[in-house]
Amino acid sequence: MPSDNSIPAVDAAAFAPAATDFAPAATDRLELGEGIRLLDDGRVVLVDILTGRLLALPTHRDAPLTPLAQLGDPLGAVAPVGRGDGFLAAAGTGLVRLAPDGSLLRATTLPDLEGPPRRRMNDAVCDRQGRMWAGSMAYDAAPGAGAVHRMDPDGTVVRVIDGLTVPNGPAFSPDGTTMYLADSALGTVYAHRVDPATGTLSDRRVLFRLAPGTGSPDGMTVDDEGRVWSAIWGAGEIRCHAPDGTLLLTLAVPAAQPTSVCLTGSELLVTTARYGMEAPGPLDGAVLSVPCRVTAPAAAAAPSGAGIHTVNPQAPRRNS
């Protein structure tokens, strides 16, 4: 790979007719598909947030998604636990531990999400140290009502960023020293320095910001070369940025509301949504696939003993 993080010409050329190359990866159409993740065992999982469903891509693309779990609350995203030990989920107003068969093992409500405005968990991911980073937001996207919460490997949960509106991501650089986080309502993706040993955040900067009316950055992933791939809700695009924010590639997606992205080494997978659309198109709400050689790590896992033990909303935090 080039040392400047640019997209190799062989990959960029493969995307020239991107919108026509995308094809459905399953027969389903989701209301608010998001949180697509490659697991170590080769499976790809995703969520349909508002229906509370955890799903897996089928082996054959002319088949429906495979149900893995059904929750009674909105399901923002999951991270695997250990190797085949189930999932840790950001769901409802807290964090949930799911058994391998999808049954509920443990759940907690985060006390700082109680009371008005009505809130729910959104996107979430684990870092390589086994910490879960999970965003929360108001159902009505009230400005400043969102936050990011971190669950440490010992089960302690702290709120680490306040004052967000619609947090999406996070995603981490390959060396774990940078966390990327979108506030979709502001059209902005931030980069935070991370201390891998403690999870402490510092030195926030803007990675990129979209002009009003040009779309909102949603879910994202970081490839093995450190490039940030972001789904752009409302613009029907996937954008790839270098770690310094330089725009390297823009891919047209045949759905207006792409929500998250996943790189498997053989394809780029994109979840999309029909939510809020009066007249969805044929691929709105589909999970889409296009050939792609770019690689990214499989989803980081929480420790096998992951569980929520204490919640400390008074821990030190930084405002957005």
User: Which residues belong to the active site?
Assistant: 218
Helix (H) or strand (E) holding 9: helix 9-14
Classify strands 318-319 and 156-164 as parallel, antiparallel or unpaired: parallel
H/E segment holding residue 130: none
Residue keyed to tokens 């954008």: 239
Q: How buried is 42 (Cβ within 10 angstroms: 0-12 exposed, 13-18 middle, 19+ buried)?
A: exposed
Tell me the two tokens of residue 9.
């010409």
Q: How far apart are CA 112 and CA 314, in angstroms?
A: 10
Distance, in Å, from the CA atom of 5 to the CA atom of 231, rounded to the nearest integer, reads: 19
The alpha-carbon radius of gyration of the chain (Å, integer) is 18
| Residue type for position 224 | D
Give the rounded distance of the alpha carbon of 275 from its chain centre. 17
